[in-house]
Amino acid sequence: MGNGEDEVGKIERLTLTVEEAARLLGISRGLAYEMARCGKLPVVRLGRRLLVSKAALERMLNQEQHPDCLSR
């Protein structure tokens, strides 16, 4: 139990799994993977893993809607 273990435990992850992102967004796992496949969910592929950057997810959610979506 050295200091290295304590420091590692305090590191905040910069990414989420697709499943974690789906839970946070309130959507199904399948929809999250479909959105990732279509480029609507910002993902990074590391080997076989698909990860969602927390920063990119926040940017996506904070983007203004397209003007044509607002007009009725």
The alpha carbon dihedral of 21, 25, 29, 31 has a sign of negative
pTM of the model: 0.72
pLDDT tens-digit profile of 17-68?
999 999 999 999 999 999 999 999 999 999 999 999 999 999 999 986 554 5
pLDDT band for 10, please (50, 70, 90 cuts): confident
Q: 72 pLDDT exceeds 50?
A: no
Per-domain residue ranges for the chain?
13-62
- Residue 58 CB contacts under 8 Å (≥ 6 apart), including other chains: none
Q: Which CATH architecture has domain 13-62?
A: Alpha-Beta Complex (3.90)
Residue 71 confidence (pLDDT): 46
